[in-house]
Chains A and B, each alone.
Chain A
Amino acid sequence: MFRHFIRLQWKSFVRSASFKTEIWFKILMALGAIYFLLVFLSLGVGSYFIIEKAGLGDPLRVVNRFMIYYLAFDLYLRYMLQKMPVMNIRPLLYLPFKKSEVVRYSLGKTLLSFFNISHAFFFIPFSIVLLVKGYPVLSVLGWHLACFALIFANNFLNILINNVDRIFYPLILVLALLGVAQYYGWFDVTAYTAPVFDLFYDQPWTALLPWVLLVVAAVSAFRYFKKHLYLDAGLSTKQEVGRTEDYTWLNRFGNMGTFLKNDIKLIKRNKRSRTTVLVSFLFLFYGFFFFTGSVEAYDNPAMQVFAGIFVSGGFLFTFGQYVPSWDSAYYPLMMSQNIRYREYLNSKWWLIVIATLVSTVLAVFYLYFGWKAYLAIIVGAIYNLGINSYLVLWGGAYIKTPIDLGSNKKAFGDKQAFNGKTLLLILPKLLLPILVYLLGDWLWNETAGYLLVALFGILGFSFKDRVFQLIEKIYKKEKYKTLLAYKQKGA
């Protein structure tokens, strides 16, 4: 039986479209993977020394203190992003497999998920550093195994509470409040939780407890699943309650308002686009690498311009590069209706503009790192508005990946987003502002560099019409190809 499952899995893996890609892209992807691997590894190794250098005390104790938040955040990410194993087992239901086998297989599959494996990149190097630093072997082992069990317990916990918002949101809310309370020094929950994690280290045998928890979680997930293995129970897909919304205040924008209304609903009501908004929110914090001085290579104004582009441009990059693919599911409708591309594009452009402005305002906390840090972000935002907002739409015209709005597949990047043309367009998006800055810096001084970048952005506004005309032309020229590409769903 298991043989069948493995074979199905293997086929679904090798036949997935992402595997059929050009060789140079595979190399590029491998390089990217290695890069991130190294970054995580160095974080795992480095975190010990970073904490030590910061003088916060014994690194292990510090990690233990924040472990509760780490686990909570892990659970949060899983709840939002980890896909449940139920989707592919529907066709297996009426075949002669025992139910328990189907359940065991799909639960087993989740163990290999990225959400579990990725933690190894922190815990393994960190534990090794502890050992090298002369922490007692048995204690480190106990602590390590306990954490290991807790992470996997999270895996099953997530399966159990999946789609039960009334458990999940209160849980996260409580933890978030605790976090706030700790920050302001009202109440420190870690005073109570840290000793628990310390215990795994101080008394290694207690590491058995999380393992018991893991087994309990796994068994209950198994039971729960088996009991609900019906199309209208555990395997049903959740339906949202539909609400008709008018947004009449957008009527004043005329035809563009029509599209704007649709785009807002698009973003609000689809999983994939909501994830995109979440990711673009995370971009806000990318600047920490640059402005805190934690990475030496980044600690110069030129790189901070680079950071400014990213901090304010999260939505611009994550949403903009997939215009018009967001409308791929109903592109034939759009193409047979009386639609002016200009208004369509304008609507998307305004969304990007609004999001960029909001990001810039939200990023105000960077003032903490000095006014220059925030200046870099404002300058980046102006450049984003004036130049990158068109470039990203232009690049999007060449990307013909259908987007499945209902799933998060490929939410973190897609091979087609990296074709030659879009790669070429990255240069003016990211490198040009740095060069412009360096020019200003070289001719006059730092501030002049910033101002020059901003000036470029402002000048960019005058090209809006030209670029939109160009994009329209591409849309028209590539219409049939795009329609064909969007037809190939799940590709």
Chain B
Amino acid sequence: MILAENLSKTYGTQTVLNIDNLEIPKGQSFGLVGNNGAGKTTLFSLLLDLIEPTSGKITNQGVEVRTSEAWKPFTSAFIDESFLIGYLTPEEYFYFIGELRGQSRADVDALLANFEDFFHGEILAQKKYLRDLSKGNQKKVGIVASLIGSPEVVILDEPFANLDPTTQIRLKKVIKELADQREVTVLVSSHDLIHVTEVCERIVVLQKGEVVRDIKTTPETLRELEDFFENQLA
């Protein structure tokens, strides 16, 4: 379970995140939507202890992320390209992450075999370093790397952006499979309302750092979200 209490982040006079109470039960597939600057990445960064909260705290399966590092073994994430090591080949990168997460080469290879489809023949054995891959292919590598070592909490920031349509569809399948394992909590943020309603059982809308909607996904959810964001224009 992930729990954010009185969590806020302020830069100068600007409050970018302010959450009284947010509880994400274990095994939930959780979607985060909101316009640019709504605080999605801020929330994920706080959860990964990459930035310091101005007030409040966030706990991950009972571990307060700021004071202990015990959350690291069961949590993994792909936020942006700063999670990739540009001078490694995809294989080297996977093995490196594998070694950090206590996985043998064979374990990693077995996992990668499941993603042959997802990689579409553009990732493995390409004789390219990560820095020379296209944005979309880099994203594929980052997403798959975040699944190494059977993490219990997987955090993906904007996983659908930059992916081609075929890969988007495959990614949805991957996330759904992950969400079906009841012990894995998946956190996904997205600008794409259709995708996020398809893969997440719960959707939270952030606006200017505050939770403005907290919806259990139903067939009507997409309509509801579209209405919400349309009204933002006015």
CA separation between A331 and B72, bound complex, in Å? 15
Stretch touching chain B among A64-72, A265-273, A279-287: A265-273
Interface check A333, CB cutoff 8 A: yes
A255 close to B99 (CB less than 8 A): yes
Q: Are B132 and A239 interface neighbours, CB within 8 A?
A: yes
CB <8 Å contact, B132 and A338: no
Which one of A269, A329, A337, A405 lies within 8 Å of B101 (CB-CB)?
Answer: A337
Flag if B101 contacts A330 (CB, 8 Å).
no
Please give the distance in Å from A441's CB to the nearest CB on chain B: 47
Please state if B127 and A332 are interface contacts (CB–CB under 8 Å). Answer: no
Given contacts A242-B132, A336-B48, A483-B50, contact A258 B96 (CB under 8 A): yes
Are A243 and B127 in contact, CB atoms less than 8 angstroms apart? yes
- Tally chain A residues at the interface, Cβ within 8 Å: 31
* B87 & A266 in contact (Cβ 8 Å cutoff): yes
A480 touches B129 (CB 8 A): no
Contact B87 A239 (CB under 8 A): no
**Contact across chains for A333 and B82 when beta carbons are under 8 A apart:** yes
B89 in contact with A336 (CB, 8 Å): no
8 Å CB contact of A270 from B49, B73, B87, B100: B87
CB contacts under 8 Å to A, within B26-74, are 48-52, 69, 72-73
Of the candidates A243, A258, A270, which one forms a contact with B89 in the assembled complex, judged by CB atoms under 8 Å apart? Answer: A243
Q: Taking the complex as formed, is A171 at the interface, i.e. its CB lies under 8 A from any CB of chain B?
A: no
Contact residues, A188-244 vs B (CB, 8 A): 239-244
Q: B128 an interface residue at 8 Å Cβ cutoff?
A: yes
Q: How far is the CB of A205 from chain B (nearest CB, A)?
A: 52
Q: Residues of B within 8 Å of A, CB-based: how many?
A: 34
Given contacts A333-B82, A480-B51, 10 further A-B contacts (CB under 8 A): A239-B128, A242-B89, A265-B88, A265-B92, A270-B87, A329-B86, A336-B76, A337-B97, A338-B69, A338-B73
Docked Cα-Cα span, A484 to B11, in Å, equals 13
Asked whether, in the complex, the Cβ of B52 is within 8 Å of the Cβ of A480, the reply is: yes
Residues of A within 8 A of B (CB): 239-245, 255, 258, 261-262, 265-266, 269-270, 329-333, 335-339, 405-406, 480, 483-484, 487
Interface centre among A261, A332, A483 (most CB of B within 10 A): A332
Are B84 and A330 in contact, CB atoms less than 8 angstroms apart?
A: yes
B206 at the interface (CB under 8 A from A): no
Q: Contact: A262 with B96, CB < 8 Å?
A: yes
Complex CA gap A283/B131 in Å reads: 31
Q: Looking at the assembled complex, report how far the CB atom of B171 sits from the nearest CB atom of chain A, in whole angstroms.
A: 20
Residues of B within 8 A of A331 (CB): 82
Q: Is B83 an interface residue (CB 8 A)?
A: yes
Q: Which residues of A contact B126 (CB under 8 A)?
A: 242
Report A339 CB to chain B, min CB distance, Å: 7
Q: Which 3 A-B pairs have the closest CB atoms?
A: A269-B87, A338-B72, A333-B83
Partner of B129 from A240, A258, A333, A337 at Cβ < 8 Å: A240
A336 touches B82 (CB 8 A): no
Which residue on chain A has the smallest CB distance to residue B145? A333
A240-B129, A241-B127, A258-B96 known; A333+B84 contact, CB < 8 A:
yes
Q: Separation in Å of the B83 CB from the closest CB of chain A?
A: 4
Distance in Å from the Cβ of A169 to the closest Cβ of chain B? Answer: 22
Across the interface, which residues of A come within 8 angstroms of B131, CB to CB? 406
B82, B99, B128: the one contacting A329 at CB < 8 Å is B82
Q: Evaluate contact between B84 and A335: CB separation under 8 angstroms.
A: no
Residues of chain B contacted by A261 (CB below 8 angstroms): 96
Q: In the complex, A244 Cα to B101 Cα: how many Å?
A: 20
- Complex-state Cα separation, A487 to B45, whole angstroms: 13
18 contacts between A and B (CB under 8 A): A239-B132, A241-B127, A242-B129, A243-B127, A244-B89, A244-B91, A262-B88, A262-B96, A266-B87, A329-B82, A330-B82, A332-B50, A333-B84, A333-B85, A336-B77, A336-B83, A338-B101, A405-B86
Q: Does B75 contact A (CB under 8 A)?
A: yes
For B73, the chain A residues whose CB sits under 8 A away are: 338
Neighbouring B residues of A243 by C-beta, 8 Å: 89, 127
- Using known A-B contacts A258-B99, A338-B101, determine if residue A332 contacts B82 with beta carbons closer than 8 Å: yes
Whole-angstrom distance from the CB of A202 to the nearest CB of chain B?
53
Closest to B131 in A: A406
| Residues B86-127 near A (CB distance < 8 A) | 86-89, 91-92, 96-97, 99-101, 126-127
Which residue of chain A lies nearest to B95 when distances are taken between CB atoms in the complex? A246
B87 with A335: CB separation less than 8 A: no
| B188-224 interface bits toward A, Cβ cutoff 8 Å, 1 = contact, 0 = none | 0000000000000000000000000000000000000
Residues in B with CB closer than 8 Å to A244 are 89, 91-92
Which residue on A lies nearest to B132, using beta carbons?
A239
Q: Is the CB of B91 within 8 A of A258?
A: no
| A270: B residues at CB distance < 8 A | 87
CA distance A241 to B128 in the complex (A): 6
| Chain B residues, CB < 8 A from A245 | 92
Q: Which residues of A contact B85 (CB under 8 A)?
A: 262, 329-330, 333
B79 at the binding interface (Cβ < 8 Å): yes
Nearest-neighbour CB distance to chain A for B211, whole angstroms, equals 24
The answer to whether B100 touches A339 (Cβ under 8 A) is yes
Q: Which residues of B contact A258 (CB under 8 A)?
A: 96, 99-100
> How distant is A420 from chain B, measured CB to nearest CB, in Å?
24
Closest to B102 in A: A338
> Among residues 159 to 178 in chain B, which have CB atoms less than 8 Å away from a CB atom of chain A?
none
Which residues of B have CB within 8 Å of A335?
Answer: 48-50
Bound Cα distance from A484 to B45, whole angstroms = 12
Q: Chain A residues near B87: list those with CB within 8 A.
A: 265-266, 269-270, 405
